[in-house]
Amino acid sequence: MVFSVFFPPAAAVQAAKVPVVYYLSGLTCTDDNFIQKAGAQRHAAELGLALVAPDTSPRGLGIEGEDDSWDFGTGAGFYVDATADKWKRYRMYSYILRELPQVLRTLPGLDLDNASICGHSMGGHGALVLALKNPGAFKSVSAFAPICNPTQVPWGQKAFAGYLGDSWQEAGKAYDATELVKAYTGPQLPVLMDTGGDDEFLKTQLHPWAFEEAAKGKLQVTSRMNEGYDHSYFTIASFVSDHLDFHARYLLASGPRI
């Protein structure tokens, strides 16, 4: 697995450790997309936040059919632990939650006990699910155009049927943010979501309103519908500073280091 880490200047101070923001990318992406396109490094440097950008799936495993479709297989791990025999090496949930942090702990300068998580589209789904299933693991969670109710939309149904097998309809609820938040009883979790009003996938795949309704009385959710914005990295670049400021509010006890 390949991942990218951005270290802010504050990490170069002797014995200093900086908070971490994980960024989970969406369908078809690699670890490079966010690093190259979002323009997040400058503001992360000012705030004193490290950025960790993992890939979206295993690659090159030689599984028959892994490259047949853009929305399943390579580049489309959906941040679940697959249970269908053919796909059992697709364990992106465990990779993000346990395996990647183990590797990161070998690097100096990262405070992995002080982390938040963010993502886009499929990665927004992953960020919400990881935060909801692991209360207290992340100080805050944010998402750009997240797939909020995957058991009810085509992208999620295709992925869950393939990775989770015949029982996907029930098993998929464990990876559905809207279903998870209904039963959430953990500590207060701040959530920020930005979705484009002109996002071509809004009505067919994203369904932020389902999560908003289910989260009422459960979480501190700020969900913004931004007219004129779509599903692209132009949208992410437009609001990424807001998201970093949001996470800094919970990660930096002394406030942003600007």
d(CA 220, CA 235): 23
Quick check: 126 and 78 in contact, CB under 8 A?
Answer: yes
- Cα torsion 53, 57, 59, 63 to 10°: value is 180
Name the active-site residue from 125, 231, 243, 247.
231
Name the active-site residue from 199, 207, 238, 243.
199
Quick check: 117 and 79 in contact, CB under 8 A?
Answer: no
Amino acid at 214: A
Quick check: 191 and 220 in contact, CB under 8 A?
Answer: yes
231 part of the active site = yes
25 part of the active site = no
247 part of the active site = no
Q: For residue 125, which of 101, 94, 102, 93 has the smallest C-alpha distance?
A: 93
Name the active-site residue from 25, 57, 116, 121.
121
Catalytic residue IDs: 121, 199, 231
